[in-house]
A = this chain, B = another copy of it.
Amino acid sequence: MANTATTTLDFWFDFASTYSYPVAVRIRPLAAEAGVKVRFRPFLLGPIFKAQGWDTSPFNLYPAKGRYMVRDCEREAAANGLTFRLPEPFPQNTLLAARVAVGGLEDGWGEEFSRALYRAQFAEGRQVGDPQVIGEIVNALGQDGAAALARAGGDDIKQKLRANTEEAQRLGIFGAPSFIAGVELFWGNDRLEQALRAARD
């Protein structure tokens, strides 16, 4: 008999988060194996970083740490059979992509879009803040890019993304990727397996 998932693991991500890229790739097969339900929860790190006094990515604020993180992301990507490159500029503006993801998740293609967006940004170095690039990525999934972009500009989607970000803040989320299993918060690609165990138990 197949495992019956009783708990949902929430995967909170911002498209500008480098370490969320391997999670977006890894989480589905691992969750299936563990019998855990997963929800993709896009949010914006910007307001959360701002509340911490940061006006850009910690990669940029702390250069030694930033250089290390690029190398570490390369090694982590390689360990998962992926490639990694930091896009120029970094971070990209990921607001529109996050709004498209909110709509896509409601329509059933948001996870696939999220993985494709991460790959475009961090493997191919594409300009994922550009509406045309986002539209092409949606089209390549067999969906309607123009319709997705139009919907992303609507108040309904804007409000939903804002609500996600506020919920993330209330949950004590301070970075991405983050996972919520019950009342437990986990942070980082390194904690995915542990978060899945917590969700299953």
Closest 5 CB pairs of A and B: A64-B174, A190-B190, A65-B174, A64-B172, A52-B62
Give 21 A-B contacts (CB < 8 Å), ordered by A residue. A52-B62, A52-B64, A52-B65, A62-B174, A64-B172, A64-B173, A64-B174, A65-B174, A65-B175, A67-B172, A68-B172, A68-B174, A68-B185, A68-B187, A71-B184, A72-B186, A72-B187, A72-B191, A75-B194, A188-B190, A190-B190
Return the chain B residue nearest A185 by Cβ.
B68
Chain B residue numbers with a CB within 8 Å of A172 are 64, 67-68
Q: How far is the CA of A59 from the CA of B37 in the complex (A)?
A: 32
Return the chain B residue nearest A66 by Cβ.
B174
Chain B residue numbers with a CB within 8 Å of A194 are 75
Count of chain A residues with a beta carbon within 8 Å of a chain B beta carbon: 21
Chain B residue numbers with a CB within 8 Å of A188 are 190
Distance in Å: Cβ of A128 to nearest Cβ of chain B: 27
Return the chain B residue nearest A79 by Cβ.
B194
Distance in Å: Cβ of A45 to nearest Cβ of chain B: 12
Chain B residue numbers with a CB within 8 Å of A174 are 62, 64-65, 68
Q: How far is the CA of A173 from the CA of B188 in the complex (A)?
A: 20
Query: Which residues of A, 25-70, contact B by the 8 Å Cβ criterion?
Result: 52, 62, 64-65, 67-68
Q: How far is the CA of A187 from the CA of B75 in the complex (A)?
A: 13
Chain B residue numbers with a CB within 8 Å of A72 are 186-187, 191
Q: How far is the CA of A46 from the CA of B7 in the complex (A)?
A: 42
Q: How far is the CA of A186 from the CA of B69 in the complex (A)?
A: 10
Chain B residue numbers with a CB within 8 Å of A67 are 172
Given contacts A65-B175, A71-B185, A72-B187, 18 further A-B contacts (CB under 8 A): A52-B62, A52-B64, A52-B65, A62-B174, A64-B172, A64-B173, A64-B174, A65-B174, A67-B172, A68-B172, A68-B174, A68-B185, A68-B187, A71-B184, A72-B191, A75-B194, A188-B190, A190-B190
Query: Which residues of A, 168-193, contact B by the 8 Å Cβ criterion?
Result: 172-175, 184-188, 190-191
